[in-house]
Structure 1
Amino acid sequence: MRDILSDLDLGDDKLTDPVREAQTGLNKPLPNRFYKEAAVVEGEEGGFVVALDGKPVRTPSRQPLGVPHRGLAEAIAAEWQAQGDKINPATMPLTRMVNTAIDGVTAAQEEVFEEILRYGGSDLLCYRADAPEGLVARESELWDPYLDWASSMGARLVLSEGIVHVEQPPEAIRAIATLLRRYATPLQLTALHTITSLTGSLVLALALAEGQGEPSEIWAAAHVDEDYNIAQWGEDHEAAESRAKRQLDFEAAHLILLAHRA
């Protein structure tokens, strides 16, 4: 099998915005599909590897594209199997995240941990609108339950109106860090980084990982302001397309977390 990943932007050596990665890939000519079947095989060193016509796929750094859980590997293989005449990285979020985890996060886990934790100091849920009344009420309705849960775990965060920065108590950040330490594998950290960056909230990302809300509920909580504006003024077509792409990455990251809970 020729080195397909030398032609595709399906991963990076550092964590970046998954939507930007997909958009970058869209700017390049898409390679032709050259294989008939994507399947899962057992890895030589354990785990499960995606194979194209029986030949294992490799990451850009030439590592086997493998994961510890068969179900997750089958979902990745399904991304490859679903490709048409062209291979489109924008439709392969699991593949991109696994590449990032293997090639980038494995060698920089503590740096990625600290990058995720920094979101706790400026969490979306802590910055509240002061008007209009309907938006204020909606933020409180959707956000307060997650802040209450975080508080029950020792992370009592301070709220602010508008965009004025508020310093969070050190003990709250330490409690969040303790929660985050539960997710120690490169793949888990990659998934949490993706969810945190997409939602703007480490509290929401951890709540999703801990099973404290349905994915649809947490996605809605992350888009309270946007949905309120849509209800008032209507939806922009390009913005809707961008949101749909982000949601695909969100759902793929959640699938990674679910596989590790199984």
Structure 2
Amino acid sequence: MLRGLSRLSRSTLSLREVCSRGQRFGFALKYSTAPAERRRFYKDVSISQGDGGVFEINLDRRKLKTPGGKLFTVPNEALAIAVATEWDAQRDSLKFYTMHMTTLCNTALDNPTQRDKDQMISAALKFLETDTVCYRVEEPIGLVDLQKNEWDPVLHWIEDRYNVTIGSSSSILGPVIPEATKDTFRQHLNSYNFWSLTGLEYVITQLKSVVLSMGIIDRHLSVEQAVLLSRLEEEYQIQSWGNVEWAHDYDMYELRARTSAGSLFVHLTSESSTVKRKLMQD
């Protein structure tokens, strides 16, 4: 798979990608965040179990709180360890923009946009109507072939997996998604709890694709494969025109990090199992 991209190594944004990021949707997703950086004010990180079976994060003897002032609690030990590891990995300065699991937990706890599950599902389904893998070009022929060879297998997989019809189109309006397809995905997304939907929506916004996101969550695609497929057009443009290599690498690694965190968040919040080992202290 991805054989057509084996030699691609640089990055730029195509005009369609720039436009799609700012104009495809009539809403903006907001995630609960803290200032970009702050001096580290604690020495030790630990986790403890609170009332109701939830887990808390302790910075020295102080309990972590959300930006909204709520006690920071997570539903299972595995997620608590993931968050605590992010805090423990920080050095002299806290780089909050690298702490994706913490940010996702803050979002689920504070719910800054005050949305319920139905609203979150509707927002996710809007991406299905403008899915990255559904938008095809008519030229150049090299990119046409690349999209067909790399995107069609994933599109066929999800149609078979969920018994739906999605299709693709070279029209700027994209394909017309049948209502039956939307209903199927609405029912499927409704099976996720609020926390898992928070993570899934985050992954979808990173990749601009329900198809690729479900490919990761269902373990049909690796994060690396999905990220590369989401950047197919811009990678092709880079192969043709070139760009600053370090900028490409930074963008690629950042997208991988965010997508990995989101998919891990979905899996950890979809399971009730606990991890018996404790976070090691320095």
TM (normalized to structure 1)? 0.83
Structure 1's 121 and 112: CA in aligned 2 closer, same or farther, altered over 3 A? same
What corresponds to 2:75 in structure 1?
Answer: 68
- Aligned-residue offset at 1:106: 7.5
Aligned-residue offset at 1:107: 5.4
Distance 1:240 1:17 in 2: 26
Distance 1:125-1:107 versus aligned 2 partners, 3 A rule:
closer
Letter in 2 for 1:141: N
Q: Does 1:87 find its partner at 2:94?
A: yes
Question: Is the 2:134–2:174 contact (alpha carbons within 8 Å) kept by the matching residues of 1?
Answer: no
CA offset digits 1:197-242 (Å, max 9, x no partner): 1111111112221222222211121111122122222233445433
The alpha-carbon distance between structure 1 residues 234 and 223, as it changes in their structure 2 partners (threshold 3 A), is same
Identity %: 25
Q: Is the 8 A contact 2:46 2:84 kept in 1?
A: yes
CA distance in 2, matches of 1:146, 1:128: 14
Match of 2:197 in 1: 189
Q: Does 1:214 align with 2:222?
A: yes
- Unpaired runs of 5+ in structure 1? 1-13
SS in 2 for 1:219: helix
Gaps of 5+ in 2: 1-26, 274-282
Question: 231, 235, 243: which is aligned to 1:227?
Answer: 235
Check whether the contact 1:59–1:65 (CA below 8 A) recurs between aligned residues.
yes
Asked whether the equivalents of residues 157 and 168 of structure 1 are also in contact (C-alpha less than 8 Å), the reply is yes
**TM, length-normalised to structure 2:** 0.77
Match for 1:130 among 122, 127, 138?
138
For structure 1, which segment, 196-205 or 172-181, has the greater mean C-alpha deviation from structure 2 after superposition? 172-181
Equivalent position to 1:256, from 259, 262, 265: 265
Bigger relative contact order, structure 1 or 2 (CA pairs below 8 A, ≥6 apart): 2
Q: Select which of 170, 175, 181 maps to 2:179.
A: 170
- How big is each residue's C-alpha offset from its partner over 1:67-118, in whole Å with a ceiling of 9 and x where there is no partner? 2222221111111111111212111111111100111077522211211111
Q: Distance in 2 between matches of 1:129 and 1:15?
A: 27
Task: Count residues in correspondence.
Answer: 242
Alignment RMSD (CA, Å): 2.4
